[in-house]
């Protein structure tokens, strides 16, 4: 999934506990049933004896570190350095049951806004759904006509398996985009969709409802919740959620450096994680995964990017960082030089004795 949102803030004199509220630079959408990680990087440090990048992360995934633990991406860990923190969130807004022009009049829908509905934002219209299998990505393609309110931020897409109610948000696009592909639609399942225009926390009423039964021979859904579990200067470990379809036979992963394929791996359906090794330090990689079923049909790819950690002896923050290995090698070099000098002096003494 990559980075969903990012914000930057500089701290100094952090000797006492304090509270900070972060607002992401751009809005992003979270989806029900998907695990997300909150990650903190500390890349500008004053401590001369520490190197690498600190981070914490929070997730229900068992592989993530618990609250208050710290990981340093070098050859050394410093578990005594503890960042205590809490994470606060709000429940995602969803359209109220029945807020749908297919079973209510337009006047009723516009005059009875729910908590997150604003009558000042015109709703999108002419929502249509069609299954696409001959393009990328594969899935249920939704198209609609724009809201006549020009100063909106974008559109939010909602889906349900029940007609006219119980919608959950599955996506969000900017206002210049009037289409969305649902890549998580399962074969033979019927879905109901509505779209809303939004501005900040306000939303329009729902569009018309569009429904579609996904074909029985549809491609598998793209693997969900692809994420980086851990990484070093030479390895990246990724994981993803098992596909819900019963006829999935394999997952295929590809790791790229730029546009070049570094490695391709095919895993049995029971596997939902993989470690890529022998990678270059401080290098950006792109990783994709797709699912294949027993009919030989493959899903669209899910992808994520990750940069490996800097090497243990690389220059960081404009300075050379001495590691334990560096000190050992330096000591051996000094010892060898000293031994060589002693041998030269001894040879000179022996030469003088011979001349006499």
Domain edge (last residue) among 180, 213, 246: 213
How many structural domains is the chain composed of? 2
Overall pTM > 0.85: no
In-domain check, residue 18: no
Q: Is residue 135 part of a domain?
A: yes
Query: What is the 3 state secondary structure string of the chain?
Result: CCCCCCCCCCCCCCCCCCCCCCCCCCCCCCCCCCCCCCCCCECCCCCCCCCCCEECCCCCCCCCCCCCCCEECCCCCCCCCCCCCCCCCCCCCCCCCCCCCCCCCHHHHHHCCCCCECCCCCCCEEEEEEEECCCCCCEEEEEEECCCCCCCCEEEEEEECCCCCCCEEEEEEECCCCEEEECCCCCCCEEEEEEEEEECCEECCCCCCEEEECCCCCCCCCCCCCEEEEECCCCEEEECCCCCCCCEEEEEEEEEECCEEEEEEEEECCCCEEEECCCCCCCEEEEEEEEEECCCCECCCEEEEEECCCCCCCEECCEECCCHHHHHHHHHHHHHHHHHHHHHHHHHHHHHHHHC
Please report the pLDDT score of residue 259 as a whole number: 93
Q: Is residue 159 part of a domain?
A: yes
Domain hosting residue 328, numbered range: 322-355
pLDDT at 343: 83
pLDDT value of residue 119? 84
- Residue 147 inside a domain? The answer is yes
Among the candidates 213, 233, 257, a domain finishes at: 213
Residue 156 lies in a domain: yes
In a domain, 20, yes or no: no
* Final residue belonging to a domain, choices 213, 243, 265: 213
Task: Give the pLDDT confidence score for residue 337 in this predicted structure.
Answer: 87
Domain membership of residue 255 (yes or no) is no
For residue 208, the domain's CATH number is: 2.60.40.10
Task: Give the mean pLDDT per block of 10 residues along the chain (356 residues).
Answer: 55 52 58 56 47 45 43 42 43 44 31 58 96 86 96 93 88 94 92 93 91 93 92 94 94 96 96 95 95 93 92 45 66 84 78 63
- On whether residue 113 sits in a domain, the answer given is yes
């Amino acid at each position: 999934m990559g980075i969903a949102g990012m914000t930057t803030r500089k701290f100094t004199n952090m000797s006492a506990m304090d509270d900070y509220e972060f607002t992401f630079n751009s809005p992003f959408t979270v989806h029900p049933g998907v695990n997300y990680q909150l990650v903190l990087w500390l890349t500008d440090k004053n401590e001369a004896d520490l190197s690498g990048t600190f981070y914490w992360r929070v997730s229900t995934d068992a592989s993530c570190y618990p609250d208050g633990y710290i990981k340093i991406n070098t050859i050394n860990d410093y578990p005594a350095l503890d960042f205590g923190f809490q994470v606060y969130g709000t429940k995602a807004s969803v359209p109220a049951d029945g807020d749908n022009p297919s079973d209510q009049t337009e006047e009723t829908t516009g005059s009875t806004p729910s908590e997150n509905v604003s009558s000042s934002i015109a709703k999108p219209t002419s929502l249509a759904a069609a299954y696409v299998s001959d393009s990328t990505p594969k899935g249920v393609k939704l198209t609609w006509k724009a809201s006549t309110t020009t100063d909106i931020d974008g559109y939010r897409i909602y889906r349900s398996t029940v007609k006219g109610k119980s919608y959950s948000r599955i996506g969000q696009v900017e206002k210049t985009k009037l289409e969305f592909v649902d890549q998580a639609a399962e074969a033979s399942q019927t879905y109901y969709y509505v779209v809303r225009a939004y501005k900040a926390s306000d939303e329009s009423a729902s569009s018309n409802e569009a429904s579609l039964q996904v074909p029985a021979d549809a491609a598998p859904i793209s693997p969900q919740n692809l994420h980086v579990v851990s990484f070093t200067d030479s390895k990246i470990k990724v994981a993803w959620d098992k596909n819900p379809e019963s006829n999935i036979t394999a997952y295929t992963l590809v790791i790229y450096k730029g546009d070049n394929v570094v490695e391709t791996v095919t895993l049995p359906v029971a596997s939902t994680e993989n470690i890529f090794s022998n990678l270059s330090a401080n290098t950006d990689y792109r990783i994709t995964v797709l699912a294949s079923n027993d009919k030989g049909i493959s899903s669209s790819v899910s992808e994520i990017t990750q940069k490996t950690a800097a090497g243990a002896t690389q220059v960081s923050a404009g300075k050379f960082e001495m590691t334990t290995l560096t000190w050992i090698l330096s000591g051996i070099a000094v010892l060898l030089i000293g031994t060589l000098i002693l041998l030269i002096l001894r040879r000179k003494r022996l030469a003088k004795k011979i001349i006499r």
